[in-house]
Structure 1
Amino acid sequence: MGSGHYFWAIFYFASLCSASLANNAKINFREKEKKVLDQILGAGKYDARIRPSGINGTDGPAIVRINLFVRSIMTISDIKMEYSVQLTFREQWTDERLKFDDIQGRLKYLTLTEANRVWMPDLFFSNEKEGHFHNIIMPNVYIRIFPNGSVLYSIRISLTLACPMNLKLYPLDRQICSLRMASYGWTTNDLVFLWKEGDPVQVVKNLHLPRFTLEKFLTDYCNSKTNTGEYSCLKVDLLFKREFSYYLIQIYIPCCMLVIVSWVSFWLDQGAVPARVSLGVTTLLTMATQTSGINASLPPVSYTKAIDVWTGVCLTFVFGALLEFALVNYASRSDMHKENMKKKRRDLEQASLDAASDLLDTDSNATFAMKPLVRHPGDPMALEKRLQCEVHMQAPKRPNCCKTWLSKFPTRSKRIDVISRITFPLVFALFNLVYWSTYLFREEEDETF
């Protein structure tokens, strides 16, 4: 039993010693990191104002490789023509002045949180409107220095960037929004930006946008020449496709319904003046309100948009239905006036016939010479007219379906209503065919991304 106690005591003592040695090794290792930092960044040893040398220590330009990780795209504003994006921005370059001993591979890299300790490229976003860093809970930024002198700078930023839009095909359009990065003070003789090889731009999975879909993106170069020299520039083009289902439900279907409702007046009785007037005015005002609401969410541009063509034609159809009732009302009054005139004429003829009959009854014994009103059957002129009538009767007549069908409706006002019931839907259907075929085909044709 005694020997067992001695064994466990020795084992416990050895464990304490090994743990103490490990802690000392860790402390010494952290001390070595501090010594390395002091060695490469100490006072008088490194000047952050001087750029690194070129490839292989030459006097060429410093090469900085860029890559991005798009975390989210918050808003895309049509009115302001801008979009907001949050991204992790990374740039990497080599500074041979920062080489250090990795202690046989144990020291993989050094981490700094102060960007002013080392030289930094003077990159800026040329189409930026607003931007800010993230400082909760600590500044979201780090710098890693690798043993071979490679420096990795990473920071999380939020940007609001300008995005000039072409809204001619709105809301059947695609928009290309760019993210441009360039050097502000160093020309291409001193600093060159390159995209990181492989996958320079990454986008978070399941990126959700309320009215757009990110179809694809491309990386490119956009070096610019000014009076002060040529400056290196990188850009990312993001292709956004507008989600059409929202506009179909909110704009196109309601406009179609308003146009169809305005046609109901064609089926109402011509004497229902209050009903037809109120229906036409209500649909016209509703359509005008719909149009103004659509334009309120868009910037005032000098060209005609696809939605302007749609709302303008729909408003014209509604207004045309209201004018059609005015025409029907005028024709109805004209038909009534003609009917009254015919009735008066018939009454006058009947009165004259009655008067003539009374005169004949009272003056039956009187004889006087009268010129016959009807020619004698043997009269040559009467025979000629009779022959012409017979020839005309024998000539074959082509049946006119439209006239035959319209003859069922004796009044002009009723004919106008019946013609409108057919003409308005046919013309609107033809407009839809031309509209959708034109803009959908142009959408595929104008895609040059």
Structure 2
Amino acid sequence: MGTGHYFWAIFYFTSLCSASLANNAKINFREKEKKVLDQILGAGKYDARIRPSGINGTDGPAVVRVNIFVRSISKIDDVTMEYSVQLTFREQWTDERLKFDDIQGRLKYLTLTEANRVWMPDLFFSNEKEGHFHNIIMPNVYIRIFPNGSVLYSIRISLTLACPMNLKLYPLDRQICSLRMASYGWTTNDLVFLWKEGDPVQVVKNLHLPRFTLEKFLTDYCNSKTNTGEYSCLKVDLLFKREFSYYLIQIYIPCCMLVIVSWVSFWLDQGAVPARVSLGVTTLLTMATQTSGINASLPPVSYTKAIDVWTGVCLTFVFGALLEFALVNYASRSDMHKENMKKKRRDLEQASLDAASDLLDTDSNATFAMKPLVRHPGDPLALEKLRQCEVHMQPPKRPSCCKTWLSKFPTRSKRIDVISRITFPLVFALFNLVYWSTYLFREEEDEVPLAFV
């Protein structure tokens, strides 16, 4: 066997020995991690019922720093006034009793999955309605203990939280939904919650909500005082802006179309009674159904919302178009009655003229008295002629443009239709101008969510 073969055999044997030593070192390293856990959490050495000491081992309150990561916001419900959120919740504090030797930096931290092994802050979500942990495939929770005694607790949870809303500007509103966290039993003399310095709240980048946009979020403190003492509290205010495009397409444009369709009745003939009645009733029922559907998706609040003003005015316009036809129908029958009366009067005058002519023909041979050449001042014929002269002497009155234009339509019913064709669109346009200028450019009122203690 040559020298080269000896060299490769020695190299191979050395590699096997190195790998075996490395595996033994890893095994020993894991064994040391177990020994450290037994050392700091062994029976009679650590009591999870006792809170940690204050800063630098003092007897002051334990300080717990909190930060959260918002993973998703699944829904914001206007009817129940609540929202659902999934987040990763983290707490970090220092427990001097959990210090250990990091074996020259090789042991960075210890990991636990049982929260009852160490002392935990008694934090709870004060405006929570429902909540649950995530246990698929394993419980989504861990505890890390660092060599200096720092403890990091992280868990993934889903919460349904109360969100009191002010819907006066709905659907042009903004809502503030809060996430409140407080200590349940430890007062500020024993436990203080603080936001983690730097970036205490993170939000997933691709957060998408169907009808809202998360504009911004603010962190603050909300300590509460009760009969049993003062308790530390943290809160996050999430500012949501409602997406208006959905309501523009689903509510505002259809309502405008219904109002405009109701105006078609003004252009139909006055005698088309079935067509005008069916058009008015159909648009009125459709508008009422639209209003009922909108109100069904909202809570029954005691104040007037912006959408109530819109639907109420649109319903009034549709109802006004139906009443306009009733007025036109009444005016049309009145015009027909007047026309019949005029016709009867003309027939009577014609009959009287025919009778007078017959009388003149029969008395053509009678003698007539001589008429005087000069009439007395009290003579009725003289007074009538005097009045006619005075009328001709007066300057003629100049008719107005509106009267001249309306004189083209001899009947009152036709005039009502023509006036409605102009008045209804003008008034509706004026309402739109006032409505949108009021609600679009109105500054949002400061809405402070209700406090939950």
Deviations 1:366-386 (A, max 9, x none): 347799999889969836863
Cα distance change, pair 409–9 in 1 and its aligned pair in 2 (3 A): same
Deviations 1:300-328 (A, max 9, x none): 00000000000000000000000000000
Deviations 1:147-174 (A, max 9, x none): 0000000000000000000000000000
Mapping of 1:57-96 within 5 angstroms? Answer: 57-96=57-96
Distance 2:394 2:360 in 1: 41
Distance 2:330 2:112 in 1: 87
Contact 1:108–1:147 (8 Å) recurs in 2: yes
Deviations 1:363-415 (A, max 9, x none): 22234779999988996983686367446654253330000000000000000
Cα distance change, pair 414–163 in 1 and its aligned pair in 2 (3 A): same
Cα distance change, pair 370–81 in 1 and its aligned pair in 2 (3 A): farther
Deviations 1:12-63 (A, max 9, x none): 1001000000000001100110111011000000000000000011110000
Contact 1:172–1:439 (8 Å) recurs in 2: yes
Deviations 1:92-114 (A, max 9, x none): 00000000011111111000000
2:43 is aligned to 43
Cα distance change, pair 224–355 in 1 and its aligned pair in 2 (3 A): same
Q: What is the TM-score with the length of structure 1 in the denominator?
A: 0.96
1:393 is aligned to 393
* SS in structure 2 at match of 1:215: strand
Cα distance change, pair 82–132 in 1 and its aligned pair in 2 (3 A): same
Distance 1:148 1:249 in 2: 59
Cα distance change, pair 352–228 in 1 and its aligned pair in 2 (3 A): same
Q: What is the percent sequence identity of the aligned residues?
A: 96
Deviations 1:420-449 (A, max 9, x none): 0000000000000000001112245658x9
Cα distance change, pair 373–81 in 1 and its aligned pair in 2 (3 A): farther
Q: Which runs of 5+ in 2 are unaligned?
A: 448-452
Cα distance change, pair 30–391 in 1 and its aligned pair in 2 (3 A): same
Q: What is the TM-score with the length of structure 2 in the denominator?
A: 0.95
* SS in structure 2 at match of 1:321: helix
Cα distance change, pair 324–20 in 1 and its aligned pair in 2 (3 A): same
Distance 1:279 1:384 in 2: 55
Contact 1:144–1:153 (8 Å) recurs in 2: yes
2:155 is aligned to 155
2:222 is aligned to 222
* SS in structure 2 at match of 1:417: helix
Distance 1:226 1:386 in 2: 100
CA RMSD, Structure 1 to Structure 2 (Å):
2.4
Cα distance change, pair 76–445 in 1 and its aligned pair in 2 (3 A): closer
Distance 2:103 2:373 in 1: 138
Cα distance change, pair 10–375 in 1 and its aligned pair in 2 (3 A): farther
Distance 2:422 2:399 in 1: 21
Distance 2:159 2:353 in 1: 98
Distance 1:282 1:63 in 2: 67
Deviations 1:59-109 (A, max 9, x none): 100000000000000000000000000000000000000000111111110
Distance 2:112 2:145 in 1: 8
Contact 1:164–1:177 (8 Å) recurs in 2: yes
Offset of 1:7 from its aligned partner?
A: 1.2
Deviations 1:239-279 (A, max 9, x none): 00000000000000000000000000000000000000000
Distance 2:121 2:446 in 1: 38
Count of residue pairs brought into register by the alignment: 448
Q: Which runs of 5+ in 1 are unaligned?
A: none
Distance 1:109 1:402 in 2: 91
Distance 1:105 1:361 in 2: 144
Distance 1:319 1:41 in 2: 78
Offset of 1:4 from its aligned partner?
A: 1.6
Contact 1:129–1:161 (8 Å) recurs in 2: yes
* SS in structure 1 at match of 2:237: strand
